[in-house]
């Protein structure tokens, strides 16, 4: 048993002093933090003295990651970390609204965000409308006196349409509603949402920022101090605080984020062009391509960056989709994105399975539709893996 210098008490002495410091952020798994006196604790709770108390309320590893993302996004206050990206989405949609409020969401939001909008919020008496975020007139038409916020993704999942952020920001300002941007796909490398008029920015750190598929984590920050505080209180009260270890892992992943993003994006552009040459492919979606319906908007918003995501449609239905996934050996068929390795996902059987087939068809996601999250593989190797698998799946 560990004994401290009193000889018999259970808790160890403080860490040995060192004039030099560690180069890696120490992991602080401690759930509780001991204060010296009730006066000191009082001062901490009053905010006169900074000090952690109980890790659900906050801990150093979360704050280190939040600060790093704050810096990337240009967030004015310390952002809030949550135990998943959906935690961050839920905190905004449920922590800042009241019964009777109305929320407008992009109609191509992440599948679970759509579900929250369509099922859970109405149950709590919060009405929602889903609208094409590329059509500002439609969003304007959906506005009501009780509309509180507009939630959009810059590049939509998985059809890669680009929202009219400038138009939405102007409309939100005019009507005094909050513009909330889920910046998971574009990341602060390609898009700094606060600079484009967002009031609140959300991330699933799980994806590109952490980048190794070994940690689930979310981030949310508000431009307004009071809203930011409310988000923190809500996430603490509802128990969304992430574990220190997950934050520590995310920080480690984020050290290489810029390099990974640039490399994956470059390969994605190459893969998109390659897929467009294949006879078994009926459609390729990549916002930087001239045949993408939102290319001009992507150019103006993303300033030469795009994303690491490419979507395409195979010539065929579920049997061809199954054959492609089987033939694409070495690529993980997995419903995630932003991993160091390329992953393929099939929205009709995963992220968008809760929608009716008719709704999926309206959104442009047939049974042959795949989304590719490009990783760090060599581009030529990756292109040939796709050629071979698509050829094998669509050969008649």
Ligand X SMILES: *Cc1c(COP(=O)(O)O)cnc(C)c1O
Residues taking part in catalysis: 56, 110, 182, 207
Phi/psi at 169 (nearest 5 deg)? -65, -40
- What does the buried/exposed string (b/e) look like for 318-339 if buried means 16 or more CB atoms within 10 Å of the residue's CB? eebbbbbbebbeebbbebebbb
E strand or H helix at 298: helix 295-302
Least spacing, CB of residue 252 vs ligand X, in Å: 17
The CA angle 135-136-139, to the nearest 5 degrees, is: 95
- Pick out residues in 205-244 that bind ligand X (CB under 6 A): 206-207, 216, 218
Rg (CA), the chain: 23
| Out of 55, 128, 204, 343, the residue judged to bind ligand X by CB under 6 A | 204
Q: Measured from the CB of residue 284, what is the shortest distance to ligand X in angstroms?
A: 20
Interface characters, 171-200, with ligand X (x: CB under 6 A): -----------x-xx---------------
- Which residues within the stretch 130-169 sit at the binding site for ligand X (CB under 6 A)? 153, 157
Q: How far is the CB of 164 from ligand X (least distance, A)?
A: 18
Q: Which C-beta is closer to ligand X: that of 64 or that of 201?
A: 201
Estimate to the nearest angstrom the gap between the alpha carbon of 253 and the chain centroid.
15
Q: Is 246 in the site for ligand X (CB under 6 A)?
A: no
Cα distance from N-terminal residue to C-terminal residue, the chain = 70
Residue with tokens 């949310």: 220
Taking the complex as a whole, the smallest distance from the CB of residue 337 to ligand X amounts, in Å, to: 6
Q: Which of residues 320-379 bind ligand X (CB under 6 A)?
A: none
Taking Cα atoms as reference points, which of 314, 333, 339 lies closest to residue 393? 314
- Residue placing its CB nearer to ligand X in the complex, 82 or 267: 82
Sign of dihedral through CA atoms 19, 24, 30, 33?
Answer: positive
- How many residues bind to ligand X according to rule CB under 6 A? 16
Residues 51 to 110 in contact with ligand X, rule: CB under 6 A: 84-86, 89, 110
Binding site for ligand X (CB under 6 A): 84-86, 89, 110, 113, 153, 157, 182, 184-185, 204, 206-207, 216, 218
């Amino acid at each position: 048993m560990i004994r401290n210098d009193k000889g018999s008490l259970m808790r160890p002495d403080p860490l040995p002093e060192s004039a030099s410091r560690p180069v890696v952020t120490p992991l602080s798994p401690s759930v509780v933090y001991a204060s010296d006196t009730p006066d000191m604790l009082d001062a901490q709770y009053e905010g006169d003295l900074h000090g952690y108390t109980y890790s659900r309320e906050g801990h150093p590893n979360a704050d280190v990651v939040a600060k790093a993302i704050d810096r990337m996004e240009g967030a004015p206050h310390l952002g809030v970390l949550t135990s998943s990206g959906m935690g961050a989405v839920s905190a905004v949609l449920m922590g800042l609204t009241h019964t009777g409020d109305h929320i407008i969401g992009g109609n191509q939001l992440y599948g679970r965000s759509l579900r929250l909008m369509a099922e859970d919020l109405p149950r709590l008496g919060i009405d929602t409308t889903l609208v094409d975020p590329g059509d500002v007139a439609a969003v304007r038409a959906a506005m009501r006196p009780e509309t509180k916020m507009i939630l959009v993704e810059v590049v939509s999942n998985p059809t890669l349409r680009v929202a009219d952020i400038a138009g939405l920001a102007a409309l939100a300002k005019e009507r005094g509603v909050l513009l909330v941007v889920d910046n998971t796909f574009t990341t602060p490398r390609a898009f700094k949402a606060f600079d484009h008029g967002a009031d609140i920015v959300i991330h699933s750190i799980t994806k590109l920022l952490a980048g190794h598929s070994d940690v689930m984590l979310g981030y949310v920050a508000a431009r307004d101090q009071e809203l930011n505080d409310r988000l923190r209180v809500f996430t603490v009260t509802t128990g969304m605080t992430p574990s220190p270890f997950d934050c520590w892992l995310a920080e480690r992943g984020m050290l290489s984020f810029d390099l990974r993003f640039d490399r994956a994006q470059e390969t994605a552009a190459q893969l998109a062009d390659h897929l467009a040459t294949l006879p078994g492919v009926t459609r390729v979606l990549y916002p930087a391509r001239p045949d993408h319906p939102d290319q001009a908007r992507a150019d103006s918003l993303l300033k030469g960056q795009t994303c690491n995501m490419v979507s395409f449609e195979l010539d065929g239905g579920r049997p061809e989709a199954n054959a492609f996934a089987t033939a694409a050996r070495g690529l993980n068929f997995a419903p995630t994105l932003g991993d160091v390795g390329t992953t393929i996902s099939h929205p009709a059987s995963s992220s968008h399975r809760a929608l009716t087939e008719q709704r999926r068809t309206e959104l442009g996601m047939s049974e042959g539709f795949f989304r590719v999250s490009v990783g760090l593989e060599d581009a030529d190797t990756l292109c040939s893996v796709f050629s071979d698998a698509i050829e094998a799946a669509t050969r008649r």
